[in-house]
Structure formats: C-alpha cells, structure tokens
Structure 1
C-alpha cells in the first residue's frame, strides 16, 4: 500500500473509522466497450410463456452446533460449546423466561437426523447456567445446523412435487461457512462446510444444475483474496481449485468452465439450455474486509473480473443474448463495498441495461431486499424517476436465521424469450414454532408472498417485475407507512423480531437503501434525508 495515496485514505476511513470517506475518483472505463448501439436502450418484449429458477443464499452451516448450548451469548454467533453468557442467570429465572416446568420439559432439545425422513434421537437437555438453549433446528442468534439446511432443501423438493414445478436451474449467491470467531475456523473447517452444503444440495436436488458464487465467509482467512498481480494470489488458489473441481464433478459446469474458474477466483460464465447466459463473479474482489483491496485502489480492475464481465456482455449484446449476473455482496454499503468498484459496477450496468442485462442477483445481507439502478447520479429524489430507471437487483433472503430472521428461500417465474423475471414466490418457516413439543415440532415451510402481489402496485400482468416496477415499490415504501412496515416484515421473513417502523429508527434508511445502487448514491441520499450512515451500521 501507498499510505499517502487513496490507499491510505480508504484504509483510514473504511478500516480504522478515523478519517472521512474521500471523494470517489472519476473512473473512465469506456475503453472496455464499443459505443452503445441504438438497440441497447430498449428492453425486449416478453412472451407469454415462463419457466422456473430456484434462488437460495447464505446457508452458513454451523458444523459445531450443539443442542442445549447457550443461544443468548456474548459473541456474535451462539450455539456452540465455546459460547457463553458471562452473566449468571437471575435468581429464580428459568433458562427460557416465563416457562413452567412442564413447558421446559417440552423444549425441542433432541439429537436428530434428517436423512430420507426426519428421525428424533435422544433428549439432550441443557445446563442450568444457560440463559436460552439452542434448539434442535436452530436459534435466532445462531447459524444453521445441518438439519435445518437439509429441511430447507427437502422443502424445495416437496413444493416441486406438490405444485408440479420444475426448476431449470438454481443460483446460490454465497456464504457457506458460519460466523464463528476466527480462532475456531481454519482451512479444514471452511472446506468441510463448503463440501457438506454442495453435497447436500446435490443429494436432494440432484437433477437441478446449480450455479454458485462464493461469499465473504467462503475464504480462509476470512474474506481474503489476493490479485495475482500482487504476488500473493497463490495463497488462496486451493479454494478455487476445489470448488471448480466439485462443481464439475456434480455436472453443474463443464471442464472448460471449471478450468476458467480455477484461474479467475471461481468466476465463470455458462449458457443454459434455453440460451440464457449466467455470469458468476467473486465479490471478495471489492469487499472492504479484504486487505488486498486497499492496494493500488485507483486501479478499477486489479482482479481482471470487470474486463471478463464486459467482454461477455459485449459478446452477448452483439448476439442478442440476455444475461443474468450473480455475485454475493451488494455494492451500496460503504462498510461492505470499495467505492471505486461500486462506481465501476454502476457504469457497466448503465452501459448494458436494459437490453442485455436481464437480471442482477445478490445475497450477503440475510434480508429479503432489492435495489433500483437509476441512470446518472441518482443521488437525490429528483433524479430517482421512472424515466431514469435502468435495472434492479434482487437480494435474496437467507436460510440461516442469524440475526433474528426466519429461514427462507424463493423461486422466480422467468419469461422464456427475454429471461426477465415475471414474479418471485417466497417461502419461509417460523423457526420459533420448532422450539417446543418434545422434539416433535419440525420446520413447516409455507408460502410467504409473491413479489407481484406484495405491495398492491398497479402493474400489467404481461409486464416483467423490472426496475420500473421496483421503482414504484420504492416510492410506496417512501410514502406509505404500511408499505414500509410490509417491506421490513418480508425483509426478516415475519420473524418475532420485525421492527415497528412507527417507532424504530432502523426503518429510516429503507427508502435510501432500496433506491440506491452505489456507495455514492446511498451516502448522497442519506445526506439529503439528514441520516447518518453510522447509525445504521
């Protein structure tokens, strides 16, 4: 790093929180592409036929999950043998406040398996010093026990059978490894977590091709990924090599694609049987927790991923192909995304929308969210008009309950001609309903909502749920307390911890968040609304 350059300014601001965030330099990447042709300014018209695609994200398998351990701990992630609450239980308080002896005896504290069918094993019990026990299928302050992940995947298979659905393919937008403290995670645990989840996915949904990306937790050390030009790229090649070989073995990608992924940080491009191109990228290349991203920060493409992306988009534009792009970390939070990369992303989406880019998909936040991408700065409400809309980002809900969410997944109804999304259908389970009944309470996965019906937007049935639709939803969130509360409810999958937006300031960022795509857009919007980003970190 050069401490006297933008490298040092970003480190001081984004990692040390001592300096103010420097202005994002003007980045010109127009050399990467030809002039935008006239056809590229208009999205193609959809047909009247659809197919289905599954979207799952953020499993975060907690491989050391221990039933009966502390779920009200002083660490970020609970439910292992090394978690604890340093305070003693108040005198006379039961481990679950307010329960009588009979109810305590009915807690779901059973060792269980989830193979071909759920099987209840032995009662585990809890230590009397535990404030809140870890239940069989998970807790709201803990990541996913494997039995919860398998339940979620089995629910996908069950809904396919019940509704006579088929999924052409699935996308997974990252994070396989849990949130345990660094001293309890090593290469072996990280790789085991990745292997277990992809194995479970293949076993339960064997005929569905899965196109995955890696999240910030799916590297060891956490989030670290080095540019090859830095001289340290070989430190992290073990993960890319294993992932590419596993994905090839499972027949999700072919040999040539696997070889490319090995050399490009697990990034790849595939063409589906219907002609849709899916491009997968590794977002650790712009994550602020990755130390290597603070080296040579003025280079807009130090990993080479953006040139790869643009080359694929230029080819697709020339061939009238539509493209989905999947990655893990959204681009608008300054605590997550390097501002230069955020601005580069925005320029790429501006150049190739709405004609070529049919869908943008993220995970990471664990919330069910979306972003609208506007042309130009889009930094204030006057620029955020329907005429300025270019695209939108689908941010998927997580399977892990951490923090304080119900587990969930979704699938998309996709137009066969344009690959635009016509609707999304969201499913969830009320985790707290699995806490009792002496181990007989298993997750019940149920329909939560459809995106087309959720906000009461007047929208033609024949039109896709594109950026213009989500612009209307964003306006509704801004102007209607009911819509704002609905958004927060769905964001957390109707968990017991949904904030009351009439009193809780956490809802105050929501409009700026959904109507922004880049770091600069979010911060400018919050300045205009007199909001402080630090209050929502």
Structure 2
C-alpha cells in the first residue's frame, strides 16, 4: 500500500512543479526627468531653466500665465513631489515579492542646466529616494541620453546595487551584466547611448558590442535566459519620428537578437514617454519582443500627451518567463486639482486588456496584426492601444488612418529602411482608397437617380 501512495505523492509533486511557476515581481521605472528647480510658483520670465513650464494662454498673450500644478505639468519635467508620490505608491504593491527594479535612464530633466555638481546632486537625490523605497532590493540602473557619461562618481553612487564585476564594466562603458544566484536568469544592461550616430566607430561602442556577444554566447552555453535592458529601443521613434540608434547599430542589434532569440526572455526599454511594444522577426516569423514603458515624467508634444506611469511585471523567477504586467498611472490633471494628494491607480493588465494568451513574440505579433485592420475609428483594438499609448490622456483620439499605420509599422518593421517602406506603402494604399471613394460617389449618385426615376415612372 505504501508504494502506490509514494508514487501518487511523487506524481503530484512533479505535476505541481511543472505547472506552478515560482511567481516574482519586478518594477520597471523610466524617464524621471527630475527638475530640482520646479516649483508651482515658478515663472519663466525670471528663470531660464523652465522655458516650457509657463506658456501663453489661449489668447496668445505672453503676459498671462497659467498656474503650474503641485505634481507637475504636461509641458514640464518632473517635480520632486511627483517622483516622491510614485515611490510611495510602489512601496505598497507586492513589496514582499518584488525581486528587483529596472531603472532605465533619463534621470535628470531635459532642460535642467545646472553645473556638473548640481547634476550629480540631483542623481544622488533620486538614488537615495529609490534606496529608501527599495531598501531590501536591488535597483539596476542604465544610462539615458540625458544622463552623464560613465564616471567614478556614478560608479560610487550605485556601487551598493551592483557587484564588483558589473561595476568594472559600468565604470568604463556604462554597461554590465547581473547573474542571478538563485535562478538561470541573467540581466544584461546596455548603454544605448553607444548605439547613437556619434558613437558608431568609437572604441567604447566597439567594446560594448564585443562584450555583448561574449555575454550572450556564455549565457547560451550555460543555458541561461536573458533580460536585455536599455534606455532607447531599436527601430523608429514616433515621438518625434526619428531614430535613436544609428542605422548600423540598429541593424547589428537586430542581428544579435535574432541569433540569440531562444535565450532572450525579454527586452525592456523606455525613452519614448509612451506605452508601446516591438516585435522582431526572422524570416517573417516572430522570434522576440520588446516592451517600452511610459515615463514617470508627464509628457507633451505636438503628437500627443501622456500621464505619468509605473509598470510592475509578474514573472517566473526560476525561468525568467514574463507572465504579465500591470500598468499604473497618475491622472496628473486630477491630482493637481485634488487637495488630498496623488492617487496612483491601476490602468490595465496586459493579458486581460488585450486578450493575450501569454506574453510571447507570437501573441504580440497577433496583437500587432489586429492594429492594422481598418481605420482607427473602425478598430476597437487600435483605440484601446492608443489609450494605453498615451497613458489615458485625453489626446488619445488624435490619430488618423495614416497615424495608425505608422504605429503598426513602428511595431513590426524595426529596420529603418523597412519602416520607411511600410509607411510609404500604407500612404499609397490610403491614397488609392480615397481615390476609389471619390470615383465611387458620383457612380452611386447616378445609380440612385436612376432608381428614383424607375420608381416614379414605372
């Protein structure tokens, strides 16, 4: 009797281990754009540092300025109170199961023109805030294009989060890798500033490529899964429409991903101040994906605006497989009106919101395919995507058919030439469709007239 019972027990244990992942969580935060000089009482007529924080009212008079909010403004970089409210909220969410934090750059405000000491002081303030928020967790920072170059000062600021081997490569090039001691997950943190046009042939850029190839080859040999983390994603930016990566670096990065697609469990970027994703193909088959998180900083430009956002990932901490994420946001306008403080709240859950079977290249390919069908006003899925893209800002309906095709092309055509061809093909199709409609309307008018005549006289 004991043997069957033992077999049954072992079967149950085996089944449980195969079907129940060890669940963990990690935060992805990006683009703080912290402005130490921000104040609701600020006035750009007195301070050159906040050139976009006060603007003319609708009458166009430079003498009339609207008040800034306590938690910031869509035309400004982040206030300290906004970032502190985000940190306070993150402490309340799954704090016991959060394993690490990805912090993907652009720490300092775009228009903050303080001297070097002031800039490092601002970074130190943000580092200490995250240290207090995640006192028992590791934060893995990467450099954005607004951040200082790798230095002894930055290395010392972040040495309590990074092991010695990681600090050595970070100090010389701003990149590093983290090997998880309790799992087969490896984190590869890139300095995407070295992928820019100015760094194409630089020695640090070449060193990072050689290092990346060696790290991924080693991970493949060790049967590890890899998270690639950086500031700027491959492909084309839509805010505004330009390329953060040079043509050569972009193509080389995509070749690298295709070569190692089987071990890459996820790619995580920021920079766009928008909520979107990318699908990478190899011989027309989806093989990898990248998720781009929206910024903590509010955002405004001619193409649209975004509320501040935070992202919490759910993953299998043994294998690194991403299972889901929850996107949180702050309605900035409402927070500034309210007297009770900033109320961050859940915006959506990835798999539920889009009806995804899982988080995979295939599932995100299928989602992208749904975004290309019809005009935006005809496509419920695209409207959902656009609301998420703008982090529930009211500008989410400001996108016509050509705009919708640009989103699809940016998601699925990451080579720069392929993106241009995709956009041009879509523009030609839209023009042909409009021309057909112009020809069809007179014909329908004639047909309708004939029907009326037949009804009257026959």
Bucket of the pairwise TM-score, normalised by the shorter protein: 0.7 to 0.9
Secondary structure in structure 2 of the residue aligned to 1:479: coil
Is 1:319 the equivalent of 2:222? yes
Flag as ranges the 4+ runs of structure 1 deviating above 6 A: none
Aligned equivalent of 1:259: 168
Deviations 1:307-365 (A, max 9, x none): 111101111111111111111111212432100000100110111012x1111111100
Matching residue within 323, 338, 360 for 1:466: 360
Matching residue within 168, 171, 177 for 1:269: 177
Structure number with higher helix proportion: 2
Query: Per the alignment, do residues 523 and 255 of structure 1 end up closer, same or farther by CA in structure 2, a change over 3 Å counting?
Result: same
* Structure 1 residue 208 displacement after superposition: 1.4
* Structure 1 residue 418 displacement after superposition: 2.3
In 2, are the aligned partners of 1:69 and 1:81 still within 8 Å (CA)?
no
Is 1:169 the equivalent of 2:169? no
* Structure 1 residue 476 displacement after superposition: 1.2
1:21-100 → structure 2 map (5 Å cutoff): 48-69=21-42, 80=50, 85=55, 90=59
Secondary structure in structure 2 of the residue aligned to 1:245: helix
- C-alpha distance in structure 1 between counterparts of 2:249 and 2:311, whole Å: 28
Query: Per the alignment, do residues 432 and 391 of structure 1 end up closer, same or farther by CA in structure 2, a change over 3 Å counting?
Result: same
1:56-455 → structure 2 map (5 Å cutoff): 56-69=29-42, 80=50, 85=55, 90=59, 129-160=63-94, 165-180=96-111, 184-219=113-148, 236=149, 239-248=150-159, 251-263=160-172, 265-275=173-183, 276-288=185-197, 291-293=198-200, 296=201, 302-333=205-236, 334-354=242-262, 356-376=263-283, 383=284, 388-403=285-300, 404-437=305-338, 440-455=339-354
- C-alpha distance in structure 2 between counterparts of 1:347 and 1:489, whole Å: 32
* Structure 1 residue 136 displacement after superposition: 0.7
In 2, are the aligned partners of 1:420 and 1:466 still within 8 Å (CA)?
no
- C-alpha distance in structure 2 between counterparts of 1:175 and 1:53, whole Å: 19
Deviations 1:177-220 (A, max 9, x none): 11217xx343233322221211110012211101110000003x
**Larger relative contact order (C-alpha < 8 A, sep ≥ 6)?**
1
Query: Per the alignment, do residues 520 and 505 of structure 1 end up closer, same or farther by CA in structure 2, a change over 3 Å counting?
Result: closer
Query: Per the alignment, do residues 67 and 281 of structure 1 end up closer, same or farther by CA in structure 2, a change over 3 Å counting?
Result: same
Query: Per the alignment, do residues 267 and 496 of structure 1 end up closer, same or farther by CA in structure 2, a change over 3 Å counting?
Result: same
Deviations 1:28-80 (A, max 9, x none): xxxxxxxxxxxxxxxxx98633211111111110111021336xx89xx9983
- C-alpha distance in structure 2 between counterparts of 1:318 and 1:513, whole Å: 33
Unaligned 5+ residue runs, structure 2?
Answer: 1-17, 237-241, 430-458
- C-alpha distance in structure 1 between counterparts of 2:52 and 2:310, whole Å: 30
Please provide the CA RMSD for this pair.
2.8
In 1, are the aligned partners of 2:316 and 2:322 still within 8 Å (CA)?
yes
Deviations 1:443-464 (A, max 9, x none): 101111111011234x2xxxx4
Secondary structure in structure 1 of the residue aligned to 2:50: coil
TM-score, normalization by structure 1: 0.69
Query: Per the alignment, do residues 286 and 156 of structure 1 end up closer, same or farther by CA in structure 2, a change over 3 Å counting?
Result: same
- C-alpha distance in structure 1 between counterparts of 2:245 and 2:68, whole Å: 33
- C-alpha distance in structure 2 between counterparts of 1:432 and 1:78, whole Å: 25
* Structure 1 residue 258 displacement after superposition: 1.2
Aligned residue pairs total 397
- C-alpha distance in structure 2 between counterparts of 1:259 and 1:82, whole Å: 39
TM-score, normalization by structure 2: 0.80
* Structure 1 residue 160 displacement after superposition: 2.9
